[in-house]
Amino acid sequence: MDFRTRDATAWAEAVARGEVQASELLQGALDRVAEVNPRLNAVVLIQEEVARKSLSALPRGPFRGVPFLLKDLGCEAVDFPSFNGSRLWGLTRYSGDSAIYARIKEMGVVTFGRTTSPEGGIGAATEAVVYGGPTRNPWDLGRTSGGSSGGAGAAVAAGIVPFAHGSDGGGSVRIPASSCGLFGFKPTRARLPDGPFSGEGWAGMSIDGFLTWSVRDTARALDACMGPDLGAPYVAPPLARSHADAISRPPRRLRVGVVDTTFTGAAIHPGVAEQVRKAASLAESLGHHVEVHQVRADVAMMMRAWTDIVAVGTALSIRGGLQGRPLEGLVEGVGRGALAHAETLSPLRYLEAVGQIHAFGRQMAAEFAGIDLLMSATLAEPPAKVGRFNHDTEDYVAYRTGPEGIFAYSPFCAIFNASGQPAASVPLGMVDGLPVGIHVAAPYGQDEELIAFCAELEAAAPWFGRKPGI
């Protein structure tokens, strides 16, 4: 069974009509894993018995009976142990379910395993040693499927499941969405719950999400899962209407600022830049006002602050897992480098960096004084070749901010994790036979307007029939 013939909403409707049984869909997903996963290395820790047992009492949620996978990073669940992308902790079992997984379960999905992630969730590729090799892109096995939700992106694009869980701390849903030709949406900060196993991820920059074929699947999943969990340190502004209601009608005519370079004015791959201009023309043809925009926010400051915050978070995690054991053989090079970098920082630097991220958020809010949406590429070039962003190097800072580093390859996504604003990667473009996403961001809290615009783009330039050959 190839789950690329319908989106998750349509599969759920088929189950509800009795056209197909949930058990048949689960078996189809398991068969598809056997067929394509040896080439992709995207699905791990399959819990078939747990999945089959769940079939007898599925909640009557919006995706009842649809096969589903959790990212192997966070999303703690009693029934789904995790490596969290690393050899450091071994196979971790949890004493309870995270709030996000409890809500995912109530959607009625049939969860049967996890998808690969890079160690620590750092990077734009998924090549963790714990999984025995890199995760590959269904469009081209020599290319990365992205990171850190790279396994999720590959699994959906290859038709193993119709949609999957991901998370995004610097583009980790949107980068795989761009790389694999999928829709990826990062909600406003704190729109989804983050507890009880953690209060926040990376000073509030990380949030869960989904990799989907359709905007409506993301809308329905967000509606089912949004809202703070008990004791959340902060909450997102309430929506005026649900995501599903927002996409049921076109948005108002919007002012769209377009950037066909990086936000600092550097050139990007010419084919990708051309796809941005085509997307802008599409928006203009739909009646939106489109204009060239120049970003004035201090992106360099944000990059330094983001790099230091993630280093400290990584160091804290590694120290907690080592329990006095040596780093070698347990932690990959980038993780060792992040720990070393964190130890060079002043004790005051973490709060200084958080303050700079907050200041940057105010700068980005000001960027929207004359526009409603900001459009750019998602990545500065098509999907990178496997190995380019593996974790062998211990030069963590260069890995992130060097001329060939992650920020040069992905200069758009992390900006909106820092600002907390909603942002999406829309699979409108193709360059040299590879998918490239168009990135669209909105003011803080304006998730409904953003997702409605994405749905309008989808209706005007459908991408569902465009699938990799694997």
pLDDT at res. 2: 85
**Domains in the chain: boundaries:** 8-298+356-460
Active site residue 172: yes
| Catalytic site residue from 71, 82, 167, 214 | 71
Marked catalytic residue, from 54, 82, 172, 376: 172
**Annotation says 179 is catalytic:** no
The residue ranges of the chain whose pLDDT is under 50 are none
Does the active-site annotation cover 278? no
What integer pLDDT is reported at residue 201 of this predicted model? Answer: 87
Q: For domain 8-298+356-460, say whether CATH 3.90.1300.10 is its number.
A: yes
Considering 54, 82, 86, 148, which one is annotated as catalytic? Answer: 148
Of 66, 71, 15, 24, the C-alpha closest to 43 is 71
Predicted pLDDT of residue 10: 98
- The reported pTM is 0.98
